[in-house]
Structure 1
Amino acid sequence: MSDNRFKIVFDGALLPGVESTTAKLNLAELFKSSVEDIEKLFTGRPVALKRDLSRPDAETYLTALKNAGIDARIEAEQPVAFSLAETHETDSGAADFSRPAASPYAPPRATVGENLPEYAELKVFTINGRIGRLRYLAWTLVLTVAMLVAAGIISTVGFAIATASPTIAIILGSLLGFALFVALVVVSVQIGVQRLHDLGWSGWLYLLNLVPLVNSIFPLLLLVLPGNAGANQYGAPPPRNSTAVKVLASLWLAFIPLMLIIVVSLGMNGYLDQLESNVDSSYESSSITSDEDADQSVIVEEEDAQSADEAAEPVDSPEEQ
């Protein structure tokens, strides 16, 4: 073995702020092993997690371990003149993690460092995994646009069927609308839970959206609070944001004002229609009142004329009588 080879050594130390349970879960996921086997590493004795590495490979493994909360280190391999497999000994009392061992105090059997994922795999339709703030915005925008398109298609189909059979149109529209609502809720919960996992929070906290007043603040926290930089109990961090994610997230800056303009326009149109309706009603009421007043004036004039005629009739004198 040459002098330019290195190994990854771990003696049970963790990075500041990382809980032991979280670190063990991260290691179990990275090493594809069970938590019970991983616990055998936390004895306080140095353990060689990976041997015979070049310097760049050692740095790669060390970065992945630090993302999992493990405070490991790189040490240079020392040349030996005997076979580790035959003597079952390691320098400095370290055990070879990449070689199976029968001792109950030996490291797990899983090969370490062969496929240490730096980032988690993205899955949309699941409550497992993690997503960051920008990806949460991007996925939410896609979900919103898809919902609007689906609602438009359902409305168009409903109007087309209503011309033939209004009853069928109402039933079909109600069923499709309910299915769209259920799909929207399910996907929204899945995306929201993954965002909570990125913060290191339980997905059950998504139920806070059902609490009055809290549901007006809680969604803002999901958009503002940054996620955990490294791995947490819900897995490795999500991949870096792609250009598509950044573009979709930035489209919210245009989508939100557009929706506000549409809502304000609809509100103004409704207000103007109501105002016009009130003006028409007032005009009709004034016209009816004017007609009634005119009719009353005509009646009064007729009565005055009749009284004048009665007053003008001659009265017989006593002599004529």
Structure 2
Amino acid sequence: MSDNRFKIVFDGALLPGVESTTAKLNLAELFKSDVEAIEKLFTGRPVALKRDLSRPDAETYLTALKNAGVDARIEAEQPVAFSLAETHETSSPGSDFSRSEASPYAPPRAAVGDDLPEFATLKVFTINGRIGRLRYLAWTLALTVAMLVAAGIISTVGFAVATASPTIAIILGSLLGFALFVGLVVVSVQIGVQRLHDLGWSGWLYLLNLVPLVNSVFPILLLVLPGNAGANQYGAPPPPNSTAVKILASLWLAFIPLMLIIGLTLGMNGYLDQLEANMDSSYESSSITSDEDVDQSVIVDEAAAQSADDTAEPVDSPEQ
């Protein structure tokens, strides 16, 4: 075997601050295996997790293992006492215990590690796995369209029922609206957590959307920050974006500025309408005040004339 081939060796050591249970669960997720098979790797004896690798591939596997909390190392390819496919001690050349039937005392084999997938399988309705930026945008657009369609159906049903019984329409609309809201929140959390996993972050950080001010910046980070190029503690990277994903993401990116323009236009129209209403109200108030002033002037003039007639002295006639 050539000297430029390498292997990943693990002897059960963990990185500082990483618990054994956490590391085992991370390895089980990374290798798509069960915890029982992973337990056999923590014997304290060297185990070859992956063999016959180039230097770049070995670095990629080592990074994924480091993210899982495992203190593995890269070594030049050479015979070792233990491998992932053969977890019993190698005996003398004269005795062949490589087969389990040859030695009834050999521990079970732990055939994990060699099957590390290049890309993970997409899982939509779960908090496990990873999704990239464009796929996050595409799924968000699909979720928004589905919500609008469902809201339209609920409104149509509500209006139809309202003609027969307004009370039943209110109750039915409230129940369906609440169910739609819960479904929207659940799916949003699932795709948000998968996006956080792609960044190598814990899904619990999604709760930052509930923090004031932070929730105005945090969603932008999910759209802007690139995910981990290789495998991390949450699994292998997501598969490449399909044409449909790219189209949906482009539509969503075009939809955001369109909604901003529509919002600004509606806001400006509302402001102008309010300003015009205030001006009309002020004009009517000034007109009413002017009319009242005129009426008061007429009343004052009439009162003055009446007072002058009452106080005028009578004039004697010529006959007197």
Q: Indicate whether the TM-score tops 0.5.
A: yes
CA distance in 1 between partners of 2:247 and 2:149 (Å): 20
Aligned match of 1:94 = 94
Q: Deviations over 1:91-146 (max 9, x none)?
A: 99999999658889978624457754221111111111111111111111111222
- In structure 2, relative to structure 1, the CA distance for the partners of 1:275 and 1:92 (3 Å cut) is farther
Question: Which has the higher mean CA deviation after the structures are superposed, 176-185 or 92-101?
Answer: 92-101
Question: Which has the higher mean CA deviation after the structures are superposed, 125-134 or 32-41?
Answer: 32-41
CA distance in 1 between partners of 2:53 and 2:107 (Å): 19
CA distance in 2 between partners of 1:115 and 1:203 (Å): 26
Question: Which has the higher mean CA deviation after the structures are superposed, 191-200 or 37-46?
Answer: 37-46
Indicate conservation of the 8 Å contact 1:49/1:96, yes or no.
Answer: no
Question: Shift in Å at residue 316 of structure 1?
Answer: 5.7
Indicate conservation of the 8 Å contact 2:7/2:77, yes or no.
Answer: yes
Question: Shift in Å at residue 234 of structure 1?
Answer: 1.6
Question: Shift in Å at residue 247 of structure 1?
Answer: 1.6
- In structure 2, relative to structure 1, the CA distance for the partners of 1:177 and 1:315 (3 Å cut) is same
TM-score (norm 2): 0.71
Q: Deviations over 1:261-292 (max 9, x none)?
A: 22223222322332233233223322322221
Question: Which has the higher mean CA deviation after the structures are superposed, 266-275 or 62-71?
Answer: 62-71
Indicate conservation of the 8 Å contact 1:230/1:236, yes or no.
Answer: yes
- In structure 2, relative to structure 1, the CA distance for the partners of 1:233 and 1:292 (3 Å cut) is same
Indicate conservation of the 8 Å contact 1:67/1:118, yes or no.
Answer: no
- In structure 2, relative to structure 1, the CA distance for the partners of 1:309 and 1:162 (3 Å cut) is same
Indicate conservation of the 8 Å contact 1:69/1:230, yes or no.
Answer: no
- In structure 2, relative to structure 1, the CA distance for the partners of 1:92 and 1:57 (3 Å cut) is farther
CA distance in 2 between partners of 1:41 and 1:300 (Å): 109
Question: Shift in Å at residue 15 of structure 1?
Answer: 13
CA distance in 1 between partners of 2:213 and 2:199 (Å): 22
Runs of 5+ in structure 2 lacking a partner? none
Question: Which has the higher mean CA deviation after the structures are superposed, 112-121 or 258-267?
Answer: 112-121
- In structure 2, relative to structure 1, the CA distance for the partners of 1:48 and 1:197 (3 Å cut) is closer
Aligned match of 2:214 = 214
Question: Shift in Å at residue 29 of structure 1?
Answer: 4.5
Question: Shift in Å at residue 170 of structure 1?
Answer: 2.0
Question: Which has the higher mean CA deviation after the structures are superposed, 228-237 or 276-285?
Answer: 276-285
SS of the equivalent of 1:191 reads helix
Question: Shift in Å at residue 8 of structure 1?
Answer: 9.3
TM-score (norm 1): 0.71
Indicate conservation of the 8 Å contact 2:37/2:110, yes or no.
Answer: no
SS of the equivalent of 2:263 reads helix
- In structure 2, relative to structure 1, the CA distance for the partners of 1:61 and 1:264 (3 Å cut) is closer
Runs of 5+ in structure 1 lacking a partner? none
